[in-house]
A and B are shown apart, each in its own frame.
Chain A
Amino acid sequence: DTVLTQSPALAVSPGERVSISCRASEGVNSYMHWYQQKPGQQPKLLIYKASNLASGVPARFSGSGSGTDFTLTIDPVEADDTATYFCQQSWNDPTFGGGTKLELK
């Protein structure tokens, strides 16, 4: 299985820029996607294929990377962005990262 590694948690202040990283155990080309999950809710697709914004997602969210290293950036961060963010690869059978919990200071 392709293992995806994310930092467990980050804390930022509203208005700042935050980058959330995801590292794959093997190359996944550009087949990396990002999701936002708020407590008690289902995941929501933010970015697909590394850098494409999903429908209805604010332009504050962006994605970059290829191969094994990927980044989700939120700029500027808003209070409503408090959530856990998951990466997912689809180059091989789908696997998800452990999630990064974003907290606001």
Chain B
Amino acid sequence: QVQLEESGPGLMQPSETLSLTCTVSGFSLTSNGVGWVRQPLGKGLVWMGTIWAGGSTNYNSAVQSRLSISRDTSKSQVFLKMNSLQPEDTGTYYCARHVKTTGAFDYWGQGVMVTVSS
């Protein structure tokens, strides 16, 4: 079955670079897109960016200058790197399968909580 699992550090210092990994199973990264969505505690969802089946990427303009999404298809892994972290980057980060034809996110990981604090 389709599964996604996020991993990464839980606590970061301001100005550091965040690195998260999304490991997927049950589907191929060369046939499906994977997106990252952030949710501040108790708040709504914000799309950050997506890497598509062909390897192209789209980013939210609000974080585009700080964000990079890449992948290793041989390991079924998608990576998020975001630099110049600030406390407002605190939240739960989800990876989700992003369906190209509809634009919906049909399967989600359980999320990883990231706190940015000195």
Contacts and interface: CB of A to CB of B under 8 A. Distances in A.
Nearest to A4: B44
Interface in A19-53: 31, 33, 35, 41-45, 48-49
Interface stretch (B9-17, B22-30, B67-75, B100-108): B100-108
Given A42-B94, A42-B111, A43-B94, A96 B44 contact: yes
Interface residues of B, number: 22
Contacts of B58: 93
Contacts, number: 59
B104 A86 contact: no
Nearest to B109: A42
Contacts of B45: 35, 43, 86, 88, 96, 99
Indicate the member of A31, A33, A41, A90 with the most B CB atoms within 10 Å.
Answer: A90
Given A48-B104, A48-B106, A99-B45, 15 more contacts: A42-B109, A42-B110, A42-B111, A43-B45, A43-B94, A45-B106, A48-B102, A86-B45, A88-B104, A90-B102, A93-B47, A93-B60, A95-B47, A96-B44, A96-B47
25 contacts: A33-B102, A33-B105, A35-B45, A42-B94, A42-B108, A42-B110, A43-B45, A43-B96, A43-B105, A45-B106, A45-B107, A48-B99, A48-B102, A48-B106, A49-B102, A86-B45, A88-B45, A88-B105, A89-B103, A90-B102, A90-B103, A93-B61, A94-B35, A95-B47, A97-B44
